[in-house]
């Protein structure tokens, strides 16, 4: 017999404590709640987007302890005790993150739907590899899909951000 | 949308086995979830209980025994951890490179080797390239532990020989024999490869400069094909055709020639893959391309000092 959410005892929920963009969040989550739904519906952080829902497109990319994950297929309870970073957490004191500024300066987006995931994926790359070459950028970013710009501007924006331009 | 389920987090394999035994078909091992959760979201699989084995201490460890040359990989080790493991990079560079090409970085950060093998998605790269190593898997159940060849684990698409109350705990990968080098090539335009071909080969005499390699004789060779059919397989008939031949006999292409043995091995490898029609191409196309990639993988394997893989065309 299937478990019904309305008859589910509270004991089935999982206590979690994590930081989201530096802020401590403590809650009890059902095990099937995805990180994407937790961020968007519970915390109101709409930056991560649902698109393919299959871990292919990268629109829902967020960072968990600095590593890029597809939040659409990552269970919220798995982020317990972790540091989660979303696009909303990059700007500091009203100042855009260098990657955000670089995407603007290099016209690296059109509709912008893929941009939060692109920037977070790029951040996880640059945090591991401060000066990747173009081949390394393309290999790392191949799992993030953009249907507008054709990637050239995106790669240029990442190179520029890495070079501090 | 994921249907509600109850999560269990055992702290030992014994506890996991007993939970799986208690809930039977209503339960499944959760070991990364990159494939299982997709199938559950789509309603293709329904479980009321998931047993998270990632919380079991020790299953996330990689160990290499220099003396025996045996690599031991815990079931919950992620693809990213394999790609970056210093032991795998130095002793199994082919595995490190191939793992770095699995799916995309987000899947590699979360997906595990045990989950990948147990889900038995036919387009699994590890399921193919690990066959080049005579890989064994350790399985624990209520009656104790058993070790079986990886080739016997997978029965077909999404189907393994595991019982409902068994857990795959470790993957054991023996080092190549001295002098053997390998290459794993995959081909495809999407995250899932259309086909994967692995060849490992030992030739004698070995040369350090590679200049006289064409006179060397194949003394041991392994051929594995995957992603195109229901499961990855070793192709013994193709291996037999390559044994005892010189590199020049098998790769006469630089002189404009054709090798009947290589052509026949390619044909048999394509046939053995049991290629299926799908969105990646027709079975006939894949069968042909496996032959093409067998020649390339063989050439790459004999011409390399270090085992290598080639990135997919994506």
- Nearest residue of A to residue B103, measured between CA atoms: A143
Residue B306 pLDDT exceeds 80:
no
Taking residue B158's Cβ as centre, other Cβ atoms within 10 Å add up to: 16
pLDDT of residue B263: 95
Residue A82 pLDDT exceeds 90:
yes
Q: What is the SS3 assignment for A61?
A: strand
State which of B119, B144, B174 marks the end of a domain. B174
pLDDT (tens digit per residue) in A91-126: 999 999 999 999 999 999 999 999 999 999 999 999
Residue A4 pLDDT exceeds 70:
no
**Mean pLDDT confidence for A83-92:** 98
Which of A5, A7, A30, A31 best probes binding to B when mutated, by most B CB atoms within 10 angstroms? A31
Taking residue B150's Cβ as centre, other Cβ atoms within 10 Å add up to: 21
pLDDT of residue A142: 93
Q: Break chain A into its structural domains and give their ranges.
A: 12-89, 98-163
Name the average pLDDT for chain B: 92
Q: What are phi and psi of A164, to 5 degrees?
A: 70, 20
Superfamily for domain range A12-89: Beta-grasp domain (3.10.20.30)
Sheet holding A67-70, edge to edge: A23-29, A14-20, A83-85, A61-64, A67-70
Q: Closest approach of chain A CAs to the CA of B104, in angstroms?
A: 5
As a whole number of angstroms, the distance between CA B58 and CA B54 comes to 9
**What is the value of ipTM here, to two decimals?**
0.93
Q: Which of B300, B306, B312, B305 is nearest to B96 (CA)?
A: B306
**DSSP secondary structure string, A120-153?**
HHHHHHHHH-SS--HHHHHHHHTTS--SSS-SHH
DSSP 8-state code for residue A42 = I
- The residue with greater pLDDT, B307 or B81, is B81
pLDDT of residue B207: 63
pLDDT (tens digit per residue) in B252-294: 876 678 899 999 999 999 999 999 998 888 999 999 999 999 9
CB contact under 8 A, B104 and A67: no
CB contact under 8 A, A32 and B2: yes
pLDDT (tens digit per residue) in B54-86: 999 999 999 999 999 999 999 999 999 999 999
Domain assignment present for B250: yes
Same domain, B169 and B240: no
Nearest CB among B3, B103, B110 relative to A69 is that of B110
Nearest CB among A12, A34, A75 relative to B6 is that of A12
Tokens of B226: 């995957």
Residues in chain B whose beta carbon is closer than 8 A to a beta carbon of chain A?
2-7, 33-34, 37-38, 41, 46, 48, 50, 80, 103-107, 109-110, 191, 311, 314
Contacts of B234 (CB under 8 A, 6+ apart): B131, B151, B222, B223, B224
Tokens of B112: 């595990």
pLDDT (tens digit per residue) in B116-165: 999 999 989 999 999 999 999 999 999 999 999 999 999 999 999 999 99
- On whether the CB atoms of residues A79 and A19 are closer than 8 A, the answer is no
Task: Specify the CATH number for the domain of residue B215.
Answer: 3.30.390.50
CATH class assigned to A98-163: mainly alpha
State which of B159, B174, B189 marks the end of a domain. B174
């Amino acid at each position: 017999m299937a478990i019904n959410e309305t008859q589910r005892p509270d004991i089935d929920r999982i206590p979690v404590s994590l930081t989201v963009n530096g802020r401590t969040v403590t809650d009890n989550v059902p095990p099937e709640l995805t990180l994407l739904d937790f961020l968007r519906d519970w915390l109101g952080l709409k930056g991560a987007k649902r698109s393919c829902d299959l871990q292919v497109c990268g629109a829902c990319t967020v960072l968990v302890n600095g590593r890029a994950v597809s939040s659409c297929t990552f269970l919220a309870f798995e982020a317990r005790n972790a540091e989660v970073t979303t696009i909303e957490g990059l700007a500091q004191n009203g100042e855009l993150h260098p990657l955000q500024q670089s995407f603007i300066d290099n016209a690296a987006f059109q509709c912008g739907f893929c941009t939060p995931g692109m920037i977070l994926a790029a951040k996880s790359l640059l945090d591991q590899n401060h000066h990747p070459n173009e081949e390394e950028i393309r290999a790392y970013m191949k799992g993030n899909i953009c249907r507008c710009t054709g990637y050239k501007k995106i790669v240029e924006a990442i190179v520029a951000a890495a070079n501090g331009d | 949308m994921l249907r509600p389920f109850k999560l269990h987090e055992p702290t030992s394999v014994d506890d996991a086995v007993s939970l799986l035994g208690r809930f039977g078909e209503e339960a499944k091992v959760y070991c990364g979830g990159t494939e299982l959760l997709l199938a559950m979201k789509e309603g293709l699989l329904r479980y009321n209980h998931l047993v998270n084995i990632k919380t079991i201490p020790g299953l996330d460890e990689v160990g290499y025994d220099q003396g025996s040359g045996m690599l031991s990989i815990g079931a919950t080790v992620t693809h990213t951890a394999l790609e970056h493991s210093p032991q795998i990079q130095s002793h199994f560079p082919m595995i490190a490179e191939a793992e770095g090409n699995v799916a995309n970085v987000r899947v590699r950060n979360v997906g595990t080797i045990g989950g990948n093998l147990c889900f038995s998605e036919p387009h699994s790269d590890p399921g193919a390239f690990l066959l080049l190593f005579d890989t064994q898997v350790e399985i624990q159940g209520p009656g104790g532990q058993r070790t079986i060849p990886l080739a016997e684990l997978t029965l077909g698409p999404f189907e393994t020989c595991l019982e409902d109350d068994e857990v795959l705990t470790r993957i054991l990968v023996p080092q190549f024999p001295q002098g053997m080098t390998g290459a794993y090539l995959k081909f495809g335009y999407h995250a899932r490869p259309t086909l994967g071909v692995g060849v490992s080969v030992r030739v004698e005499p070995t040369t350090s400069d590679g200049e006289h390699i064409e006179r060397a004789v194949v003394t041991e060779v392994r051929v594995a094909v995957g992603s195109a059919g229901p499961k990855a397989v070793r192709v013994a008939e193709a291996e037999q055709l390559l044994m005892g031949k010189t590199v020049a006999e098998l790769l006469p292409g630089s002189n404009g020639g054709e090798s009947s043995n290589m052509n026949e091995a390619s044909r048999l490898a394509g046939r053995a893959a049991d290629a299926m029609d799908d969105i990646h191409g027709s079975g006939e196309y894949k069968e042909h391309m496996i032959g093409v990639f067998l020649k390339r993988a063989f050439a790459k394997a004999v011409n390399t000092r270090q085992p290598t893989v080639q990135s997919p065309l994506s």
